[in-house]
Amino acid sequence: MLELASLTDLLAQPRRIVITTHHKPDGDAMGSSLGLYNYLIQQGHHAKVITPTDYPDFLAWLPGNEEVIIYTDNTELSAALVADAELIFCLDFNTLSRINELGELVRESEAFKIMIDHHLEPEDFDDYRHWDINACATAQLVYDFIANKLYNKAMVNKDVATCLYTGIMTDSASFRLPNTTSAVHRIAADLIDAGAVNWRIHELVYSNSSESRLRFLGHCLSEKLEVLHEFNTAIITVNEQELEKYDVITGDTEGIVNYALSITGIRLAAFIVERTDKVKLSLRSRGDFPANDICKKYFNGGGHRNAAGGVSTDSLEEVIKQFKLILPEYKKLLIQ
């Protein structure tokens, strides 16, 4: 274990640092990683963000994006950087399986590992942990780490603030989820004061769709939405041919599940999509319904109570059938 005082001492000198985050990074994964990156480079650290996979284009404007290394495109360089790092920050995930092959490289590295995260049940691979499941976003915890652990709020410049605001905004579903406390709004206000242009960030993330993405959304809502009234559940299922027809690219499916959850009375929504070698499930729920419980128990996944995900190697039809068969077990919770 690493004490905070030792970590602070380590960071007092320029270090070789790797920042990594979960595969298929979302707004919080990239916002928190690049927020920390932009903080560290101001102090002369040699920091690199390495993502296990690619990520949506609507995040490509984030400050520092051009310096990000994608593991699948640069395996040798990534492995060398991880092996040579003195510190590795693990952001927005807490089990090494969430970063694919990078996980074993991180495990083997002799670097000090610092986990900053808000997911349940962390695996024990880290040397220092800044972890709180009540945080609405990892970006909130990165801000807290900089401001209240490193006492360096003054170093939250426009770039840091822009990235962290993006993480908080996306993971709190635009300041809507129950964990968006007054403290979160105060941090958002600090970030705006530090230079984050809130309206522009909303525009870049949410009003940045391709025409085909919007048509794909229309297709999902008009043709693929199924409401299971008996269970207050709505699902949207998509096969590979549909993804091809609408030129769906990374990020295009993000958020579609929320439309299913927005129907009055719906407590559970699922977006189930067929990928090349697997079926991916995205679940969202309202109130105390444990979406992560279903993912953990049946679909090799997990997540938060109201936002969870999982995968299956069964066919799309099988997964849809299995999902529907699970619902009676949860009926009591779904119809209360």
CB of 220 to ligand 5GP, least distance (A): 15
Our finding on whether 103 is near ligand 5GP (CB under 6 A) is no
DSSP 233: E
Output the DSSP codes for 32-98.
HHHHHHHHHHTTT-EEEEEESS---GGGTTSTTGGG-EEGGG-HHHHHHHHHH-SEEEEES--SGGG
CA 18/CA 67 separation, integer angstroms: 12
9 vs 121, beta carbon nearer ligand 5GP:
121
Our finding on whether 307 is near ligand 5GP (CB under 6 A) is yes
CB of 137 to Mn ion, least distance (A): 5
Residues ≥6 apart with Cβ < 8 Å to 265: 232
Our finding on whether 117 is near Mn ion (CB under 5 A) is no
CB of 154 to ligand 5GP, least distance (A): 31
CB of 148 to Mn ion, least distance (A): 19
138 vs 237, beta carbon nearer Mn ion:
138
Count of other CB atoms within 10 angstroms of residue 286: 16
Contacting range for Mn ion; rule: CB under 5 A; set: 24-32, 55-63, 257-265, 295-303: 24-32
The dihedrals phi and psi of 175, each to the nearest 5 degrees, come to 65, 35
Our finding on whether 138 is near Mn ion (CB under 5 A) is yes
39 vs 323, beta carbon nearer Mn ion:
39
Of all residues in this chain, which one has the CB nearest to Mn ion in the complex?
28
Residues ≥6 apart with Cβ < 8 Å to 200: none
Contacting range for ligand 5GP; rule: CB under 6 A; set: 128-136, 153-161, 308-316, 322-330: 308-316
CB of 67 to ligand 5GP, least distance (A): 24
Across the strands, what pairs with 90?
A: 20, 115
Report 247-306 residues binding ligand 5GP (CB under 6 A). Answer: 282, 301-304
In this chain, which of 91, 290, 309, 323 binds ligand 5GP, going by CB under 6 A?
Answer: 309
Report 82-101 residues binding ligand 5GP (CB under 6 A). Answer: none
Return the closest-CA partner of residue 62 out of 87, 22, 29: 29
Contacting range for Mn ion; rule: CB under 5 A; set: 62-70, 104-112, 137-145, 223-231: 137-145
CA 290/CA 131 separation, integer angstroms: 20
Residues ≥6 apart with Cβ < 8 Å to 214: none
Helix, strand, or coil here: 17?
Answer: strand
Our finding on whether 20 is near ligand 5GP (CB under 6 A) is no
Say if residues 245 and 269 touch (Cβ distance below 8 Å). no
Our finding on whether 171 is near Mn ion (CB under 5 A) is yes
138 interacts with, out of ligand 5GP, Mn ion, none, CB within 5 to 8 A per kind: Mn ion
CA 14/CA 46 separation, integer angstroms: 7
- The number of residues that bind ligand 5GP (CB under 6 A) is 12
Helix, strand, or coil here: 279?
Answer: strand
* Residues within the interface to Mn ion (CB under 5 A): 28, 92, 138, 171
* Residues within the interface to ligand 5GP (CB under 6 A): 26, 119, 282, 301-304, 307-311
